[in-house]
Amino acid sequence: MVPRVLLIAGGRSPEHEVSLLSARGVLEHMPFPTELAVIAKDGRWLLGEEAHRALEAGLAPTGPHPFPPPLDWDRYGVVFPLLHGPFGEDGTIQGFLELLGKPYVGAGVVASALSMDKDLSKRVLQQAGLPVVPWVALYQGETPLIPFDPPYFVKPANAGSSIGIRRVEGSGELGEALAEAFRYDRKAVVEKALGGVRELEVGVLGNVFGQASPVGEVRYQASFYDYETKYTPGRAELLIPASLDPGTAETVQELALKAYRVLGIRGMARVDFFLCEGEVYLNEVNTIPGFTPTSMYPRLFQAGGVGYPELLRRLVELALEA
């Protein structure tokens, strides 16, 4: 029986617009019958033509938002939550779908929440023996004690798409950078900046024991891979496969698969790495990677022989299997 998919996009996070861009790509390539629901930034659920108008506009209008949403959930065999960032990638929508008993694409509640938190995920990955960049976590109101010298990056612990990130060149810039990070989360992460890094990314597909894509590399002219660089066509160059010696490429893929299993992820993830002076460091794990025209995840698998429609078909099948 062919499953009917409910694609949920938008969301209450600062990545609302990115989610809508991703949803366009998924709707264009999904091989199963699919309906769209869009969540506005205030939590209002839009359905039918209203949802598609929001998708075309790139932003869902706010207004009264009934809850629970007026959906016949029995109509759908699988739900695809394509909600980047908080309230979508952090286990919240996954918990809601678990209560409904609906199969859904992607990681479960615990893996989603753990992977979203840059501090907690680093702690778990480091304990499992995976190499991570030195960091410290700070809660809002704490006195910042940084155990390494600048330069470093200050990030919200629970955010994506490089939102709220500042590169700090001197300690006098720390206060302003923390204030920016705390606009998006009560906890910030300060990470040591590595010099001369190459940024590598690997896609993983599967339930617990995943399949790794070829390794890709991101190159750009900005001081770091910021929001504008990520989502403005032509700002970044995606090299697939990355020009690496076979041993390094294999190491990166093995580390991606190990991280995937350690964090208990299912369905999909994009795992990001730094390569610095021959050493590989795991940067972060994204359990709902982008599906925009410039996104690395679908392009990585396409380079590995898995086209966009086939990738979506397998994600839906993995959801039903899980």
262 pLDDT more than 90: yes
- Please compute the mean of the pLDDT values over residues 290-296 and round it to a whole number: 84
Instruction: Write the pLDDT tens digit of every residue in 137-171.
Output: 999 999 889 999 999 999 999 876 578 899 999 98
DSSP 73: G
DSSP 104: B
For residue 118 the two structure tokens come to 């840059």
Kindly indicate the confidence band of residue 66, based on its pLDDT and cuts at 50, 70 and 90.
low
Q: What share of the chain is helix, strand, coil (3-state, %, to 5)?
A: 35, 25, 40
Cα-Cα-Cα-Cα dihedral sign, residues 252, 254, 256, 259:
negative
So what's the pLDDT on residue 67? 59
Strand partners, 155: 189
- Cα-atom radius of gyration of the chain, to the nearest Å? 19
CA distance linking residue 312 with residue 322, whole number of Å: 15
Cα-Cα-Cα-Cα dihedral sign, residues 97, 103, 104, 106:
positive
Q: Which of 34-48, 68-82, 89-103, 260-274 has the lowest mean pLDDT?
A: 68-82
110 pLDDT more than 70: yes
Average pLDDT of the chain? 91
CA distance linking residue 75 with residue 3, whole number of Å: 10
Q: Which of 12, 30, 156, 153 is nearest to 84 (CA)?
A: 12
67/17: higher pLDDT: 17
The pTM (predicted TM-score) of the whole model is 0.91
HSE value, Cβ hemisphere, 13 Å, CA-based, for 239: 10
Kindly indicate the confidence band of residue 322, based on its pLDDT and cuts at 50, 70 and 90.
confident
CA distance linking residue 58 with residue 24, whole number of Å: 10
222 pLDDT more than 60: no
Q: What DSSP line would sit under 147-208, residue for residue?
A: SSPSPEEEEESS--TTTT-EEESSGGGHHHHHHHHTTT-SEEEEEEPPSS-EEEEEEEEEES
For residue 66 the two structure tokens come to 């009934």
What amino acid positions are annotated as catalytic residues? 15, 161, 231, 270, 272, 284, 286, 290
248 pLDDT more than 90: yes
316/172: higher pLDDT: 316
226 pLDDT more than 60: no
Instruction: Write the pLDDT tens digit of every residue in 168-207.
Output: 999 889 999 999 999 999 999 999 999 889 999 999 999 9
So what's the pLDDT on residue 286? 96
- Please compute the mean of the pLDDT values over residues 272-279 and round it to a whole number: 95
HSE value, Cβ hemisphere, 13 Å, CA-based, for 195: 3
